[in-house]
Structure formats: C-alpha cells, structure tokens
Amino acid sequence: MKLSKLALSLVAALSLSAMAQNLAVVNGKPVPSSRVEALKQQVERSGRPVTPEILAQIKEELIAREIFMQEARKRGLEASEDYKTQLELARQSLLIRELFANFQKKNPVTDAEIKAEYDKFVAANGGKEYRARHILVEKEDEAKALIADLKKGGKFEDLAKKASKDPGSGANGGDLDWASAASYVPEFASALVKLEKGQLTDVPVKSQFGFHVIRVDDTREAQLPKLEEVKPQISQQLTQTKLGKFQEDLRAKAKVK
C-alpha cells in the first residue's frame, strides 16, 4: 500500500523535528541538543562569552563525549567501584551547587543592604586624611639630632633619604602619601593628628619600629569612592557573606555523631 502525500509529509516533518532535537546521532544513539545549551550555560557562568568558535567546540566536545561514553560502557566500566564512588562525589557537588544557587536566587542582595554597607564603610574611613613624611631611626638621640637639623633649615627630603630606616618611604624623601590616621600605629597616629599643616614634631615619636620624626605637608577630607563605583564589589561581598551564614546555620542545625 502506497503512502499518501499527506502521510509522507508528516513522516518528513517528524524526521526533521527529531533532527532538530538532536545535535547528532552516534552509532545509532541520539545526542540531545539540550546538552549544548547546558554546556553553554556552564561557559557563560564562568564569565566567558559563547562565540561561534566556542559553540563549535562545545558541539565537537559533546560528540566526542558520546563516542567515549559508548566505549566505556562496552568495556563494563560503569560497574567498577571507583566509577561509582566518583559518580557519587560528582552528584553531590552538582546538588550542592544547585542548593547554593537556589538560596542566592531566593535571597538576593538588595540596594538597601548595599547602601547600609557603604554607609558603614564611609563612617569607618571618612574624616581627615594626612599627607605626611617621616624619618625612622633606631635611637632617640638620632631623632633629636634630625629635629635640630630640620629646625636649622635642613631639608626634610634629603635627610630622610640619607637617614631613614624605612625602606618604603625613605627613598621617596619620607613621603607616606595620603592616608588616614587610623592607617598608622597608635603612637604615630596620636602625634600625627596634633600637627597642623607644615608642622614638625618637636620630640621623637617612639613606636615598635623605632623613633619617628614626623611632618604634615597637607590635610584634606578623605577621598572615598562613590557608591556606584563600588556597588558591584559590595554586592559580591554581601552575597558571599549571606551564603556563608546559610552554610554555618545548616552546620549548626545538623546532628553529627
């Protein structure tokens, strides 16, 4: 019995539909196109764009995987204990990843939380900044002699290059760049905030590093980044904090013997 034209059209349409659902057919076994989408999402989650070249590589990779999987099954490797152990570990990793992704989806970081975290940052880092120089020496007498030289007209930068034991600032004439007082050890910070612009310490400042001679070259209000500039970093930090708290809560609730 001959098939009607309608029946032939339906068969052809069904064949085309099946082909569209499959990337390829390897030794008679279809490779679903859905696997292409799954691998694409993995690549995109890693931050890489899926270019036409990458897409072609994904398709080749999936076909190669099917070929190798079929050979592994032929050899009975699915029955090995090592394979079963590795499969269970992989299953756990995937399920845990889905758990964390689900938590983050249901508990997104809000703009209000980001603003609150930014405000805390501003409160902790705002205020006055100092452009200071210092000369660090081992002995108090050395520091006193330097102060005397400076008061007689000695050039701070030259004396710092010659005498300072601080490898970071000494070569730059003692320059410490802009920083808040909180950036320094307490003894240094306490002396720093008492100085006016252009003023020099009258006596050496002792700290755990030795004796400091300090001069303030300038002051200004702290130059902090705007909220929009640091919003992505704050969001990422809060996301990790929330996830960490979620993990800690689950551990605390678990009954482990």
- Stated pTM of the model: 0.59
User: Does residue 76 share a domain with residue 17?
Assistant: yes
Confidence at residue 19, expressed as pLDDT on a 0 to 100 scale: 46
Residue 151: inside a domain = yes
Of the chain, the percentage scoring pLDDT greater than 70 comes to: 92
Q: If you count DSSP H runs as helices and E runs as strands, how many of each does the chain have, helices first?
A: 9, 6
Range of the domain at 64: 10-106
Residue 119: inside a domain = no
User: Does residue 199 share a domain with residue 132?
Assistant: yes
Please identify, among 74, 106, 138, the residue that sits at the C-terminal boundary of a domain: 106
CA angle 195, 197, 198 (to 5 degrees): 95
User: Does residue 94 share a domain with residue 131?
Assistant: no
Residue 240: inside a domain = no
User: Does residue 135 share a domain with residue 80?
Assistant: no
User: Does residue 216 share a domain with residue 150?
Assistant: yes
User: Does residue 153 share a domain with residue 91?
Assistant: no
Residue 182: inside a domain = yes
3-state secondary structure the chain: CCCCHHHHHHHHHHHHHHHHHEEEEECCEEEECHHHHHHHHHHHHCCCCCCHHHHHHHHHHHHHHHHHHHHHHHCCHHHCHHHHHHHHHHHHHHHHHHHHHHHHHHCCCCHHHHHHHHHHHHHHHCCEEEEEEEEEECCHHHHHHHHHHHHCCCCHHHHHHHHCCCCCCHHHCCEEEEEEHHHCCHHHHHHHCCCCCCCECCCCEEECCEEEEEEEEEEEECCCCCHHHHHHHHHHHHHHHHHHHHHHHHHHHCCCC
Residue 1: inside a domain = no
Query: Which CATH number goes with the domain that contains 177?
Result: 3.10.50.40
Confidence at residue 110, expressed as pLDDT on a 0 to 100 scale: 97
DSSP 183: G
Q: What is the pLDDT of residues 128-185, one digit of tens each?
A: 999 999 999 999 999 999 999 999 999 999 999 999 999 999 999 999 999 999 899 9
User: Does residue 147 share a domain with residue 187?
Assistant: yes
User: Does residue 209 share a domain with residue 132?
Assistant: yes
Please identify, among 77, 106, 135, the residue that sits at the C-terminal boundary of a domain: 106
Confidence at residue 13, expressed as pLDDT on a 0 to 100 scale: 42
How many domains, in total, are found in the chain? 2
Residue 238: inside a domain = no
> Which residues of the chain are under the pLDDT cut of 70?
1-20
Residue 251: inside a domain = no
Q: Give bridge partners of residue 98 from the DSSP assignment.
A: none
User: Does residue 156 share a domain with residue 82?
Assistant: no
Q: What is the dihedral of CA 170, 175, 176, 180, to 10 degrees?
A: 150
Q: What is the pLDDT of residues 135-148, one digit of tens each?
A: 999 999 999 999 99
